[in-house]
Amino acid sequence: MSPEQLSAAAMSLAAAVDAGGDELPEPESARARAVVSKVAERTALVGGRTVVALAGATGSGKSSLFNALVGDAVAKVGVRRPTTSTATAAVWGEEPVAELLDWLGVGTRHTVSRDATPGAQVGTLDGLVLLDLPDFDSRELENRTEAERVLELVDLFVWVTDPQKYADSRLHDDYVAALSSHEAVTMVVLNQADRLTAPEVEQCRADLVRLMERDGVPRATVLATSVTAGTGIDELRQRLANAVAGRTAARARLAGDVRASAQSLRGHVAPGEEQVDATARSELLETLARSAGVPTVLQAVARDYRMEAAGRTGWPFTRWVHRLRPRPLRRLRLDGRDVSVSEADVRSVLGRSSLPPPTPAARAAVDLATRRLADRAGRDLPTPWAEAVERAATPPGAALGDALDQAVVGTSLHARVPIWWRVAGAAQLVLAATALVGLLWLALYVVLGFLQLDLVVGDPPTWGVVPVPLVLLVVGLLAGLLLALLSRWFARIGARRRARVMDQRLRVSIETVAQERIVLPVQRVLERHAATRAALDRAADV
């Protein structure tokens, strides 16, 4: 694994924690953030160094092994248990190491001179920083804290155990299993092998491999050593030399941490997410339209149309009456006139309609629809995510109501005057004029008759037996009435059609509100969930 892959994985982990936000449990998030900064810090320090810790229960021989590897009695070996209480470092090689040891927080340092290193592999441990740790299951709290702190930071973990304690279940459950995610960087040393016969050593090693497997560390390397007899030490040194030469232990350890953290967070996101359900969305739209008063508006639109049609195409002698009646859309302040500011009128300043507020039933229906939408979208998500979806689907307080009202007010209910209104209106005027001409003509004859001048002008012209002025009067009146009735019938059809057009327009506006206030916020939570999942998968794949 290259340094680039490691830092990409750490970046993915950071991205996952960011995207997951409050929906991920805080302890795991904090742990992941710590891992991310450890990767950044350790890779900045990595150089050619490999940090190896000897860790294990008290009396297993960590300090003795440490001294054997160093070739000098640097660490204190004692009979009083526990002996070691702070970490001691031994450093091989010339490369400056102070910064790294400061970061590790190890004060006691010993530089191994080449001459003092026994064995054939002189120099092969160059680059090794070996740590002797206090016992990690100590009855002394301070020892335990110190061991745990340093173990968090080291690259390679050598578990030193002995024939008495190697099978201690508490050790396995509390420590080894916890370290299982760093399987690549765990080595097991069965020390004090001189206390056993050769077959027993083999038996113990086999046991240990099996136990490690149960702890989640398959194919563990188990070395048998004895400090007193001097066996196995060279092999251990060789293994450490290999790790140093590979210089991958540091990155492998960090990668193990990134992977473990990503995997534990992965348990808090679902394997996939639902999309916002189309049925739930259309159900929501329906209830929002009702709650926004769309049926009321449409009734007003239809009535308005019929009244306007009657005013323009009705019988000219009575149609002025229609103009006196209040117009329904105007009453709802939806005729588009009140949106301009009239200072005296707060409602119009705010651009509000005068639509009646939604009934409790309509409001409950909206609640139900949003909840259903949220339930479906968050169905398969872990609880915190499902709750986030629910919150996103529920805009606070009056915000939704206001937005809906704005949507209705902002929708133009304006439509062009239908041509048939103009034609029928003009025809009505012609017919009325005809009737009037007939009437005046008749009146002329009546007056002339009264003045006994009818003999001078003679009889009016006739069609058949009926005098033309009478024909004009009667036809003008009757045809006007008929046209008015016909127009009213047409107006009813036209009103329905216009209501449908306005219904479409209002629904587009309301759909925008539903989209902006409910659907998009829900989708954003779902996208955040998907982003978290994808980033965790990338981080766990390192």
Q: From CA 160, how far away is CA 86, in angstroms rounded?
A: 17
What are the C-alpha distances in Å from 354 to residues 6, 408, 480? 62, 11, 38
CB nearer ligand GTP, residue 81 or residue 524: 81
The verdict on 143 binding Mg ion (CB under 5 A) reads no
Q: How far is the CB of 75 from ligand GTP (least distance, A)?
A: 7
Q: How many residues make contact with Mg ion (CB under 5 A)?
A: 4
Judged by CB under 5 A, the stretch of 44-52, 57-65, 188-196, 232-240 that binds Mg ion is 57-65
Q: Does 7 bind Mg ion (CB under 5 A)?
A: no
Shortest distance, CB of residue 199 to ligand GTP, whole angstroms? 18
Comparison of 131 and 400: residue with beta carbon closer to Mg ion: 131
CA torsion 511-516-521-526 (nearest 10°) is 60
Two tokens, residue 66: 């440490």
Choose the contact partner of 64 out of ligand GTP, Mg ion, none; CB within 5 to 8 A by kind: ligand GTP
Minimum distance of ligand GTP from residue 229's CB (angstroms): 7
- 172's torsion region: left (phi>0), alpha (psi -120 to 50) or beta? alpha
Nearer to ligand GTP by Cβ, of 82 and 382: the residue is 82
Q: Which is nearer to ligand GTP, 48 or 78 (CB)?
A: 78
Per CB under 5 A, 63 contacts Mg ion: yes
Minimum gap (Å) between residue 32 Cβ and ligand GTP: 31
Task: For residue 83, state whether it binds Mg ion (rule: CB under 5 A).
Answer: yes
Q: Give the per-residue SS3 of 12-58.
A: HHHHHHHHHHHHCCHHHHHHHHHHHHHHHHHHHHCCCCEEEEEEECC
**Residue closer to ligand GTP (CB basis): 79 or 141:** 79
C-beta of 62 vs 529, nearer to Mg ion = 62
Distances (CA, A) of 170 to 55, 163, 178, 208, 452: 15, 15, 12, 14, 137
Q: Which is nearer to ligand GTP, 198 or 456 (CB)?
A: 198
Q: What are φ and ψ of residue 157, in 5° steps?
A: -115, 115
d(CA 40, CA 7): 8
Lookup: tokens for 296 = 């009321």
Find all residues with CB under 8 Å of 440, minimum gap 6, and list them. none
Residue 130, classed as helix, strand or coil, is: strand
Q: Which 8-state DSSP code applies to residue 181?
A: G
Name the minimum Å distance from CB 538 to Mg ion: 41
Q: Which is nearer to ligand GTP, 132 or 257 (CB)?
A: 132
CB of 9 to ligand GTP, least distance (A): 34
Residues in the chain: 542
Contact partner at residue 183 from ligand GTP, Mg ion, none, CB < 5 to 8 Å by partner kind: none
> In angstroms, what is the minimal distance from the CB of 181 to ligand GTP?
25
Minimum distance from CB of 63 to Mg ion (Å)?
3
Q: Using CA atoms, how far apart are residues 534 and 137, in angstroms rounded to an integer? A: 38
Nearest distance, CB of residue 152 and ligand GTP, angstroms: 18
Q: φ and ψ at 532, to 5 degrees?
A: -60, -45
Q: Considering beta carbons, is residue 33 or 195 the nearer one to ligand GTP?
A: 195
> Alpha helices, DSSP H only, in 156-266?
169-171, 198-214, 233-246, 249-266
* DSSP secondary structure letter of residue 339: T
User: Which residues between 331 and 350 bind Mg ion (CB under 5 A)?
Assistant: none
Q: Which residues bind ligand GTP (CB under 6 A)?
A: 58-64, 77-79, 81-84, 134-135, 191-192, 194-195, 226-228
Instruction: Kindly indicate which of the ranges 54-62, 121-129, 412-420, 485-493 contains the residues binding Mg ion, using the contact rule CB under 5 A.
Output: 54-62
Q: By the criterion CB under 5 A, which residues form the site for Mg ion? A: 62-63, 83-84
